[in-house]
């Protein structure tokens, strides 16, 4: 009988852990309470306005590349990361802006 593992949560951490375990030969079962994978990395819409539900900006893309490389794949073959400049802009009540 092969090794089995359970991962609870399908955020970036849970998906990364599940992938690493599967690469090492584990039979992995992933549990997620929401109706889709990604944990808090999602967007939702209310009355035509879109909102981030969590960490939707990826600040360490090399960590994603590492997971794909461990699996013998290239992340670029699946999706493109597009740098944003600025990441976001915040406006105060006087209309002044702060860019990050």
Spans of all domains in the chain: 4-82
pLDDT given at position 22: 95
Provide mean pLDDT across the span 70-77. Answer: 94
pLDDT given at position 56: 65
4-82: CATH topology is FAD/NAD(P)-binding domain (3.50.50)
User: Do 52 and 43 meet the contact criterion of CB atoms below 8 Å apart?
Assistant: yes
pLDDT given at position 100: 82
The answer for residues whose C-beta is within 8 angstroms of residue 49's C-beta and 6 or more apart is none
pLDDT given at position 18: 96
Beta bridge partners of 98: 90
pLDDT in tens, 17-71: 999 999 999 999 999 998 888 888 888 899 999 888 776 677 788 988 999 999 9
Residue spans of beta strands (DSSP E) within the chain: 4-8, 27-31, 43-46, 49-52, 89-91, 97-99
pLDDT in tens, 7-18: 999 998 999 999
What angle in degrees, to the nearest 10, is found between the helix axes of 12-23 and 61-70?
20
Residue 16: closest CA among 24, 79, 77, 80: 24
pLDDT given at position 12: 87
Whole-model pTM: value is 0.71
């Amino acid at each position: 009988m092969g090794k089995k593992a359970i991962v609870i949560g399908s955020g970036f951490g849970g998906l990364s852990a599940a992938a690493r375990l599967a690469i090492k030969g584990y039979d992995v079962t992933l549990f997620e309470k929401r109706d889709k994978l990604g944990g808090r990395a999602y967007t939702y819409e209310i009355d035509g306005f879109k909102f981030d539900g969590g960490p939707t900006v990826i600040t360490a893309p090399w960590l994603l590349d590492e997971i794909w490389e461990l699996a013998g794949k290239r992340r670029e073959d699946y999706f493109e990361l597009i740098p944003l400049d600025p990441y976001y802009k915040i406006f105060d009540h006087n209309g002044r802006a702060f860019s990050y």
